[in-house]
């Protein structure tokens, strides 16, 4: 059964070695929207601080691309390091959310609306971030664990 959840924005990240997808929720957590795709470069910390300061989220979620077996992948370790970077300047909860099939689901959504993977490259990371944040919100509303707390 869904329960009322705390008001406040949430931010979701789909971490990648080259690009990071960003999604945000409204304060009532009814709508999750794409925000941006940011380059994972030497200015990443500055970009993250700008987004986080702008939205002042009550928590952040980062996708955790585990193996289908549930074991951590090399990409999981990178996502954890990314979450730990955020933790150095953000003092609210950060959750790792299972995203094993987010890219597959994102590509499927693009195909449904007639956009090829190549055409959708610019937004695929944002779509994955939306899925990650929607998953966290569904868990929160159902009184389940949002994700693994960092």
Tokens matching residue 6: 């705390």
- Global pTM reads 0.89
Evaluate whether 132 touches 99 at the Cβ level (below 8 Å): yes
Evaluate whether 133 touches 12 at the Cβ level (below 8 Å): yes
For the ranges 3-7, 20-24, 96-100, the one whose mean pLDDT is highest:
20-24
Bridge partners (DSSP) of residue 59 are 10
Chain-centre distance for alpha carbon 14: 4
- Classify residue 114 as left (phi > 0), alpha (psi -120 to 50) or beta: left
Fold adopted by 10-149? Nucleotidyltransferase; domain 5 (3.30.420)
pLDDT digits (tens, 9 = 90+) for 101-139: 556 666 677 778 777 777 777 788 898 999 999 999 999
Q: Is 150 a residue whose pLDDT tops 70?
A: yes
pLDDT digits (tens, 9 = 90+) for 46-93: 999 999 999 999 999 999 998 677 677 788 999 999 999 999 999 999
């Amino acid at each position: 059964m869904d329960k009322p959840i705390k008001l406040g924005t949430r931010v979701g990240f789909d971490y990648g070695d080259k690009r990071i997808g960003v999604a945000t929720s409204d304060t009532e957590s009814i709508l999750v929207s794409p925000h941006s795709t940011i380059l994972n470069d030497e200015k990443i910390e500055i970009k993250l601080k700008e987004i986080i300061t702008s939205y002042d989220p009550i928590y952040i979620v980062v996708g955790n691309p585990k193996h289908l077996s549930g074991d951590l992948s090399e990409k999981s370790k990178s996502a954890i390091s990314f979450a730990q970077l955020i933790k150095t300047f953000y003092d609210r909860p950060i959750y790792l959310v299972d995203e094993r099939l987010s890219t597959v689901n994102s590509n499927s959504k693009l195909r449904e609306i007639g956009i090829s993977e190549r055409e959708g490259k610019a937004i695929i990371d944002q779509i994955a971030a939306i899925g990650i944040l929607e998953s966290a919100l569904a868990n929160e509303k159902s009184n389940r664990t949002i994700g693994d707390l960092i």
